[in-house]
Amino acid sequence: MINYDYLLLHYGELSTKGHNRQLFVQQLLRNLKHSLGIKYPTLEYEAKHEHLYLKLTPAIEISSLISDLGRISGIQRITPVLRSLSTLEGLKENALRLLVEKTGTFKVKVKRSNKSFPLSSYEVADELGGFILENNKNLTVDVHAPDFILNVEIRDDYSYLSDLSYPGLGGYPLGMNGKVLLLLSGGLDSPVAASLLLRRGLLIEALHFAAPPYTSSSVIEKLFDILKIFNNEQQVIRLHVAPFTELQLSIYEHCPESYCITIMRRMMMRIASEVAPQYGAEALATGEAVGQVASQTLSSMRVINEVTNYPVIRPLAVLDKIDIIKKAKEIGTYDISIRPFEDCCTIFTPKNPKTKPHLKECLYLEKKWDWETLLKKAVAEIKTYVIKGGEVSDEDDSTHSS
């Protein structure tokens, strides 16, 4: 790759306008400095209304920077560019720099937002095209199916030339849209939900229900490993582990088997709603997908949802399992998720769970015993871990931050 002057970042979610756009740019800038500052200390940032520019120095390895940027949400496209003053001479000089070693066919595409530039877009394309043909005999013009396009952008102060670009993650800068409390199991789905939430600019806190001794501590280890992966995007993630055994056993004692899963899910939602304000979360999230299992039919979801006033975000709601698996492989959680483990749900899975549970029946069953005390106890005994920079510590040993 030649020595480009800048990386031009196109903002994700182009529909973001007005004041929100300013918040968007400021948050993205903070996130970039936070994630790239240590690895690329010489990098300079220029946030403009239309794009964000990263000034490159010889010390920076451009391909590694582009791959790091590919993991930061809020960037739609990454384009290496050459910058010159907005003059025809400047453009010609940079066209030579950019194309000196190129072969094949090309076309010139000009975008001119500087209305005082003396030549029209068409004239610039014509002048530059002729100049390139004169100076590089290995290039010819093909306006219909060129091997590459020379993009020229003429702005008021500077002009930019580019010949290629890379896709970004899109979405919103992390932290811009608030925080959600994600119910994280040891399965395949909820980590994929986590990655979609992060991409949407939502910070996550994770809540897990553990049922020792029926589930082992290796499940928690697994969750640590999964959350460490997301430290690439969110530097500090808290995992809250709620002891669920007593409550769960009491459900199995008092409810018919076919309703156990539904009641259990209602308890999970109740606990999540109870602790969400304490964590600053404004919504709950799960890895549920419509129809995947008995507890994920619309009827079930409705009955389960009834215990909370929080919005429940289900990023995977309409995805096929095959696509979820593909996504899990892409983000690197698949191999961790498939490690054998016991989930509190798998152990207690009834043979014939209700696919159409009735709210009335749930309310009737929940009158039969004092689960509130057990629920309060579970909330009081939540243990919190902090996963930061790939390291795990207990909440007490670490400062509160997110």
Q: Which is nearer to ligand ATP, 184 or 275 (CB)?
A: 184
Q: Which of residues 304-363 bind ligand ATP (CB under 6 A)?
A: 343-345
Residue 288 as a binder of ligand ATP (CB under 6 A): the answer is: yes
Q: Which stretch, 80-88, 121-129, 286-294, 355-363, contacts ligand ATP (CB under 6 A)?
A: 286-294
With both helix axes pointing from N to C terminus, report the angle between 88-99 and 121-135 in degrees, rounded to the nearest 10: 40
In the complex with ligand ATP, which residue's Cβ is closer, 118 or 213? 213
Is residue 73 a contact residue for ligand ATP (CB under 6 A)? no
Per partner kind, with CB cut-offs from 5 to 8 A, the member of Mg ion, ligand ATP, none near residue 288 is ligand ATP
Q: Residue 288 in contact with residue 182, Cβ under 8 Å?
A: no
Residue in 146, 47, 155, 75 with CA at minimum distance from that of residue 110: 155
How many Å apart are CA 369 and CA 222, to the nearest integer?
Answer: 34
Contact residues: Mg ion, CB under 5 A:
185, 187
Partner touching 183 among Mg ion, ligand ATP, none, CB below 5 to 8 Å by kind: ligand ATP
Q: Minimum distance from CB of 187 to ligand ATP (Å)?
A: 2
Sheet of 203-210, strand order:
312-313, 283-285, 179-183, 203-210, 236-243, 383-388, 391-394
Nearer to ligand ATP, 74 or 243 (CB): 243
Phi first, then psi, for residue 168 (nearest 5°) are -100, -175
Residue 187 as a binder of ligand ATP (CB under 6 A): the answer is yes
In sequence order, the 6+-apart residues with CB closer than 8 A to the CB of 142 are 105, 106, 107
Which residue is at the shortest CB distance from ligand ATP? 187
Give whichever of 125 and 345 is closer to ligand ATP, judged by the CB atom: 345
**Would you count residue 189 as binding ligand ATP (CB under 6 A)?**
yes
139-141 and 104-112 strand pairing: parallel
Beta strands in 125-277 (DSSP E): 139-141, 148-154, 158-162, 166-170, 179-183, 203-210, 236-243
Among 369, 308, 69, 335, which Cα is nearest to 180's?
308
Q: Does 75 bind ligand ATP (CB under 6 A)?
A: no
**DSSP code, position 242:** E
CB 157 to ligand ATP: min, Å: 49
Contact status: 183 vs ligand ATP (CB under 6 A): yes
Which residues here bind ligand ATP, judged by CB under 6 A? 183-185, 187-190, 208-209, 286-288, 292-293, 295-296, 343-345
